[in-house]
Amino acid sequence: MKVAMTEYLRIDLKSEKWECRVCDHEIAPARGNYKEGLLVHDRDPREIHPPIIDPDKYRFTFSPDPEWVRILEYCCPSCGTQVETEYAVPGHPPLYDMEVDLEALKAQWAARGEAAAPYAGPAVVRDEGHGH
């Protein structure tokens, strides 16, 4: 059984691996940090959040300060999908952000039965109106 854990990651309970949901690439052991199977890029935040006012004239420009914060971009080595981002203080070790208790996950899904596609959550639907 495979359980979708995030928009782009799933865990194969049988093989005990993190997998890419876009290209099925096997990323890393599910008992560990999925980031270890991804590629990382240290992005200058000004490239994503462009200065709105002139950086030659002003100290503050609407862009993050690249000396103060960086964006770590994690992508799938096979398909290049951006799986996660992490706004990080320069030099701060990346976080082990999802440490899964695999045995508990297996037990939970064994009780639930086959994993369906993840449910997006309740939608706002038009009311039928009062019939009386």
Partner 1 sequence: MNDMSIAGRGKLPSAEEAALVKKFLNDTTLFLGPDPEIMQNHDLMPRTADEDEAIAKVADSHIIAKIRDRIQAGCDEGYEMVEQMGAAPGAKWGDVITGVYSASGDLAIASAGGVLIFSALVHHPIKFIIKNWINDPTVGVREGDGFIHNDSRYGNVHNTDQSMILPIFHKGRLVCWVASTVHEGENGAIEPGGMPSMAESPSDEGLKMSPFKVVENYQIKRDILTFLQNSVREPKLQYEDMKVKLFACLRIKQRIEETLNTDGPEALVSTLRLTMENVRAEVKRRISEWPDMTVRTYIIQDSTLRENCVVKINCKLTKTGDRLIFDFRGSAPEFTNRATNTIVAGLKGMLAQVFLCYVWPDLPRGQAAFAPIEVITDPHSIVNCSYDAPNSQSLMSIFTGFTAGQHAVAKFLYSCPEKFTKVHAPTFNMINTFVWGGVSQHGETLGNLCADLNGMGAGATVDRDGEHALAPIFATMADIGEQELNEEEVPFLQLVSKKMTRDAIAPGKYRGGQGYTMMVATKDSEQWGFMTVCQGAKIPPLQGLFGGYACGCYPLSKVKGVDVYDVLLNTPEKFKHSIEEIMNEQPFEGASYTTHHMGMGFEISKRGELFMISQGAGAGYGDLLERDPRGVIKDIEEGLISPAVAARTYKVAFDPETLAIDEKATEEARAAERKARIARSRPYSEFVKDWSKPTPPTHLQYFGAWGDDVETLYMGSPEKTRDAEVPRPNYMPHPKDVRIAELEARLAAVGAMGGEKQ
Residues 64-103 that bind partner 1 (CB under 8 A): 64-65, 67-69, 71-75, 77, 79-87, 89-101
From the list partner 1, Zn ion, none, pick the one residue 129 interacts with, judged by a Cβ distance below 5 to 8 Å according to partner type.
Answer: none
Question: Taking the mean position of all CA atoms in its chain, how far away is CA 55?
Answer: 31
- How far apart CA 109 and CA 65 sit, in angstroms, is 44
Token pair 């695999």: residue: 102
- Nearest-10 Cα torsion for 55, 75, 68, 50: 20
Q: For partner 1, which residue of 7, 13, 128, 130 counts as binding (CB under 8 A)?
A: 7
- Taking CB under 8 A as the criterion, the residue among 26, 41, 44, 110 binding partner 1 is 41
Positions 45 through 84 that interact with Zn ion (CB under 5 A): 76, 78-79
Length of the chain measured in residues? 132
Residues between 4 and 33 that touch Zn ion (CB under 5 A): 20, 22-23, 25
